Structure 1
Amino acid sequence: MPPPRPAAVVTALTLAAATAAALPLGLPAAARTALALCAALSAAQLLLRRCVRRFGGVTGDVFGALAEVAATTTLVVLALG
């Protein structure tokens, strides 16, 4: 697991960049984008904790699954918004 402080900084920068990129589409789109990113990060974090608890660590397959879960969650939230 990465150190908490750098992970929080990268998360905040990513959230700010994604929200800023969606601002030309309007404030509701920017809010949906921020919500989608937060949901994706939460889903990936839940899966990561489950895998660490179940497998005792992570493998490349776990990282691949995290990427797929985060992407799918983002797309679902944006599609439902």
Structure 2
Amino acid sequence: MTDSVAVSAVTDTTKYGERAIEEGRLITFANPRLGRDYDIHITLPEFTCKCPFSGYPDFATIYLSYVPNQKV
């Protein structure tokens, strides 16, 4: 079974156009190998965000590694 959890940082001061970027859903599913530890590695090579100080775009690569528990 796949679950979906709302992930949002939208406030009343969110500017037009930023709302669609900030609203998202985190999709999870049951761990098929519960009781067995294994690593999941994800690389996001084109992560883009807005600098909170200058307002200019920033670019980065995100490396995510984790061991799932009940949900993946």
TM-score (norm 2): 0.33
> Hey, which of these two has a bigger chunk of helix by percent?
1
Q: Which has the larger radius of gyration?
A: 2
> Hey, which of these two has a bigger chunk of strand by percent?
2
TM-score (norm 1): 0.31
